[in-house]
Structure 1
Amino acid sequence: MAPNPSTSNGNPTPATLALNNQIMGKLKPAKLFKAAVDNTPSPPAPSGQTQRPPTPISRSITGITFDDRGDTVVTASEDETFRLYSCKTGKLIKTFYSKKYGVDLPRFTHKNSAIIHASTKEDDTLRYHSLHDNKYLQYFRGHKGKVVSLEVSPIDDGFMSGSLDKTVRLWDLRSPTCRGVLSLPCPPIVAYDSTGMVFAVAVGVFSKILLYDQANFDKAPFLSIDLDDVTLALISYPPRPIFVTSMSFSSDGKYLLVGCSGGAHYILDAFEGYMMAKLEGHTGLERKNMTVPPLIEPSKGISGEEVSWTPDSKYVLSGSLDGRVFIWDIQGLQPRSEHERKYPPSRIQPTVVLDGHPGPSRCVKFNPRFAMMCTAGTELAFWLPDPSGDAEDTGKDLPKKKGVA
């Protein structure tokens, strides 16, 4: 049986999750995991060698994925582990190790006992892992460069990956051989729409997004979108290019959220392709200094997992270099006429800004079924609406009454 209609990361779209500005403004960390990443300093030198102070390590969580029902969440981190947590009890269930291959871009399949993930060393193979018995179920070989984008189809066992080898590969969990390859002029970023019938490919060098029919992916894209933000000319000349690090469609299929390495994210009309809104206020994770204009690293480094939708697609969430979490209300967006589309995008400031982590908030995701948000950097936090307004980590189990089924 096919899963219910879902968001682009495979999570089901709940009809009963009623979020509003008041709830979003009352989100507070209900549980904080300070030991969610192993940052143990390097050991001292062996006896007889020059002794140096232990080298501090600052590793981060690099990816978060919820299962379809929102009961559990898996994190992947730079310490070469992935960890399974219960969203209902707020407790760590199990830690898994991938010291040989590393782990990145974890994605739940439509079974809550299995994930796929990318590798960070040894090779560029994708791995299908059973959380139930800690075994690899399948290997997906073919990429000749690091996988930088990985998404599961919302309707079946298909998934796709984008790599530094400048290809998109389409896969099926039931076969180790890819069923299609797209060659691009640069490393691509990919996303499924909520029906699974359309997917998008971002071609960063040319500031383009290509939309393909899933059933005819070997044909030309049916829509080519130019990412042209005329407001960038007000900052520098020539305007710096837009570098895409993530994409996700809204649950209703109307919008395409384009996450970028710089100080703005964008919302496009998913049918016509024109730029509707520019989300501002945060500091992009790839920012290297505080000069004006800022120096932006033109590659996908630590960004990509920090921006996402709420399940109802009323809000966009984003992390920031300073650790804060930004929330934009996009419910007021209106379609543009043919004439209005030539105007600059609406520049939207955040409705809510939440104090987050020490260091960059690298991952921000909202639970698909409960009024709960997850954020991560060097620490992991579970957020719930707090009617008292007190930002306090009690260290107790997550209260189930906070959930909205």
Structure 2
Amino acid sequence: MYQQELNNVNNITAGDIENRIKSKSSHSKSNSLSSTAVTISEQQQSRDQSLDKPKEKLTLLTSIPLDSSASSVTMSKDGFRVFVGGKGRVEIVSSLSERKNKESIDFSPLQYVRSCKLFRDETTIVVSGEGAGIHLFDLTRGMKKLTLSTLDSNVNYSLSLAGDDSTVFATLLKGTIGMWDLRSSQLVRLFDGHSSPCSSIDLDPSGKVLMSGGLDKTVKMWDINSGKCFQEFQTNSRVLSLTNSPASDLIVYGLEDGGLDLVTYKTQSNSHNVIKHSDCVLTTKFSPKGNYIISGAKGGMLTISGVDACFRQLASERLSNSVLSCDVVSSTDGDYISVGTWDNKISLYKLVGV
């Protein structure tokens, strides 16, 4: 039942993604976080952008065809290599070439890779997805080095890797989150509290707090050492994506109703609406400096919003199909952003002026 519920929201293995979420039920706001910032529609943002020419510039460098939809993506620190999770494998492409690199990592022939994370030294990648569990691959030798045992049907939609690469966290099927010690390969802790599947997780900069967003319309804060939930935020819609600022205690989460909301978890403040997309927000990511937020929606809108008093739109792009995944790295000459879409493409952008 839980797997079907997640698939209804986030499945790209059967049917058209445009049929994912047809119904938008109305929800009571009595127990929800109040929105204290002005909601800005995509149409209004487009008009504002044309009137007030921003100094920021988003440039498409290349768009590379893939074998399947780009359900997950992560980049090397220099931005030269992009690891794209899709159906049955992780494809490794170069941001310096319009041609797809022939390198790939086999995952499971009929299943999608839902999440992938690189170790700091970029010699190992952690991969998870549908029905195949959690695997670690040695990139220098091109082979699998470890498979982690899970408690359910091996459906893992989101991963988070500790800063020292010693532990990995993964969502499990029924809303539980598991924590594995990569030195012993053992499951060492469970975080149990979501009443529906957990769609996205992330770690705070200290590595002591785990954040999670779920289809039960909650965002939860967990103490890593005890496994206890010490804080919870109610949302007005189901949480489909979540990201934590690397520079502060801000959390941003994308909602099924198109909202992209921000909250400061340490002060337990009310949420602020960053932007209102016209459809569900499937992916979101903070920049490495924490000064802007990338969000991608089912309708194909890619938006970059500044983290300031008015959440000014820095750049936007209308893509040809649903935005499923994104990642960003910083360099001295600008930031490089990779964007995965439903129509079997990974697009690479450069953002300057931020």
- Same fold, judged at TM 0.5 (above): yes
What is the aligned partner in structure 1 of residue 160 from structure 2? 151
- 2:100 matched to 1:134? no
State the alpha-carbon separation in 2 of the partners of residues 87 and 364 from structure 1.
14
Match of 1:266 among 261, 270, 273: 261
Q: Which residue in 1 is equivalent to 2:25?
A: none
- Residue 349 and residue 69 in structure 1: after superposition, are their counterparts in 2 closer, same or farther (change >3 A)? closer
Q: Give 2:301's aligned amino acid.
A: R
Distance 1:223 1:99, change over 3 A: closer
Q: Are 1:72 and 2:77 counterparts?
A: no
Distance 1:352 1:200 in 2: 27
When residues 70 and 154 of structure 1 are mapped into structure 2, their CA distance, relative to the original with a 3 A threshold, is: farther
Instruction: Tell me if structure 1 keeps the 8 A contact 2:261–2:275.
Output: no
CA contact (8 A) 2:223 2:230 kept: yes
Match of 2:76, as an amino acid? Answer: D
| Map of 2:305 onto structure 1 | 328
Instruction: Give 1:99 deviation, angstroms.
Output: 4.0
Query: Is residue 2:205 matched to residue 1:194?
Result: yes
Is structure 2 residue 127 aligned with structure 1 residue 117? yes
Residue equivalent to 2:348 = 382
Q: Of residues 174, 178, 190 in structure 1, which corresponds to 2:183?
A: 174
- What amino acid is aligned across from residue 367 of structure 1 in structure 2? V
Cα distance, 1:71 vs. partner?
A: 4.1
Query: What is the aligned-residue RMSD (CA, Å)?
Result: 2.6
Q: Alignment identity in percent?
A: 14
Partner of 2:317: 354
Q: Distance in 2 between matches of 1:319 and 1:263?
A: 10
Q: Which moved more, 1:149-158 or 1:132-141?
A: 149-158
TM-score under structure 1 length normalisation: 0.66
The 8 Å contact of residues 260 and 277 in structure 2, kept in 1 or not, is answered as: no
* Inter-partner Cα distance in structure 2 for 1:75 and 1:285: 22
2:323–2:340 contact (8 Å) kept in structure 1: yes
**Is the CA contact 2:218–2:233 (under 8 Å) kept in the aligned structure 1?**
yes
Summarize deviations over 1:336-373 as a string: whole Å, max 9, x none: xxxxxxxxxxxx574432233x2112222222445211
Aligned length: 293
- 1:163-185 deviation digits (Å, cap 9, x = unpaired): 22331100122222211112232
Q: Distance in 2 between matches of 1:190 and 1:321?
A: 20
**Residue 337 (structure 2) pairs with residue 373 (structure 1):** yes
Q: Deviations over 1:241-265 (max 9, x none)?
A: 4111222211122201112222111
Aligned-partner residue type, residue 320 of structure 1: A
Rounded to whole Å, the distance in 2 between the matches of 1:149 and 1:76 is 12
Closer, same or farther in 2 for the Cα pair 1:195/1:87, shift >3 Å? farther
* Letter in structure 1 aligned against 2:327: K
Runs of 5+ consecutive residues of structure 2 not aligned to the other structure:
1-52
| Greater strand fraction, Structure 1 or Structure 2 | 2
CA contact (8 A) 1:63 1:105 kept: yes
Contact 1:67 1:109 in 2 (8 A): no
Is the contact between residue 114 and residue 158 of structure 2 (CA under 8 Å) also seen in structure 1?
no
Q: Structure 1 23/177 Cα, relative in aligned 2: closer, same or farther at 3 Å?
A: farther
Q: What is the aligned partner in structure 2 of residue 337 from structure 1? A: none
Q: How does 1:34-49 map to 2 (within 5 A)?
A: 35-36=65-66, 38=67
- Match of 1:105? 115
How far the C-alpha of 1:223 sits from its partner, in A, is 2.3
Q: Give 1:149 deviation, angstroms.
A: 1.7
Map of 2:12 onto structure 1 = none
| Structure 1 stretches lacking a partner, 5+ long | 1-20, 39-58, 228-240, 287-302, 334-347, 388-403
Q: Highest Rg: 1 or 2?
A: 1
What TM-score, normalized by structure 2, do the two folds share?
0.74
State the 1:82 CA deviation.
Answer: 1.1
- Measured in 2, the distance between the counterparts of 1:95 and 1:29 equals 24
* CA distance in 2: counterparts of 1:201 and 1:120, whole angstroms: 19
